[in-house]
């Protein structure tokens, strides 16, 4: 055992790792929970048609919900590499099936600056970057409105009306500098 192994063992004793999905000891995300995250993407319907296909890796419940809550609300940034890999695998699966263009840009769902600050950063954007896919955060939320935690879908919608802002300068720069857009 080298020094780094001893250091890792000491850290594990002082700050034991637990699975972000189920709480099992000794791992960031156990094999069972990783399996839950490996679902095949399904195209879903939305109440408002965005004009593009919308895909999901499953219902937000159980392991997925606990993992996301642990990431967003409890600072479990150690799951970001796993979730980035899940996102990349889902995109590559859809590309292989011809469901998604091979040249894509991820645009992370926006997070209020105050929420990101409270969470130690914008974890959604960090997951997108961790996927290794081209990521351009061009959509932002104004600071108006309530925190969406605990709101119904309809309440979230009303809460966000007029709050979404697009960084048009960044959009134009991305368009003209990105090979996939030309």
The string of DSSP letters for 56-97 reads ESS-S-HHHHHHHHHHHHH--GGGHHHHHHHHHHHHHHHHHT
Residue 32 CA to residue 162 CA, distance in Å, equals 41
> Residue 101 pairs with which residues in a beta bridge?
none
Task: Name the DSSP class of 165.
Answer: E
What is residue 110's predicted lDDT score, i.e. its pLDDT? 85
Q: Minimal CA–CA distance to 43: which of 92, 96, 82, 100?
A: 100
* Average pLDDT per block of 10 residues along the chain, 182 residues long: 70 76 95 95 88 89 96 94 97 96 89 82 94 91 73 80 76 66 54
What is residue 161's predicted lDDT score, i.e. its pLDDT? 72
Element (H, E) at 141: strand 139-141
Instruction: Name residues whose C-beta falls within 8 Å of residue 100's C-beta, 6 or more positions apart in sequence.
Output: 53, 91, 94
What is residue 99's predicted lDDT score, i.e. its pLDDT? 93
What is residue 23's predicted lDDT score, i.e. its pLDDT? 96
What is residue 145's predicted lDDT score, i.e. its pLDDT? 66
Element (H, E) at 173: helix 168-177
Task: Name the DSSP class of 108.
Answer: P
């Amino acid at each position: 055992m080298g020094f780094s192994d001893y250091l890792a063992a000491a850290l594990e004793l002082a700050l034991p790792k637990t699975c972000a999905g189920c709480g099992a000891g000794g791992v960031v995300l156990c094999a069972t929970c990783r399996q839950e995250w490996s679902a095949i993407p399904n195209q879903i319907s939305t109440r408002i048609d965005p004009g593009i296909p919308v895909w999901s890796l499953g219902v937000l419940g159980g392991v997925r919900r606990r993992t996301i809550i642990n990431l967003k609300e409890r600072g479990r940034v150690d799951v970001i590499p796993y979730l980035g890999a899940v996102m990349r695998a889902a995109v590559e699966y859809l590309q292989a099936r011809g469901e998604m263009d091979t040249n894509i840009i991820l645009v992370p769902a926006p997070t209020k600056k105050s929420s990101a600050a409270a969470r130690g950063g914008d974890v959604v954007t960090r997951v997108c970057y961790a996927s290794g896919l081209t990521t351009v955060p061009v959509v932002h939320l104004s600071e108006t409105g309530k925190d969406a935690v605990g709101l119904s879908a309809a309440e979230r919608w009303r809460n966000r009306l007029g709050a979404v802002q697009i960084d048009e300068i960044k959009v134009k720069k991305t368009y003209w500098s990105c090979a996939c857009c030309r």
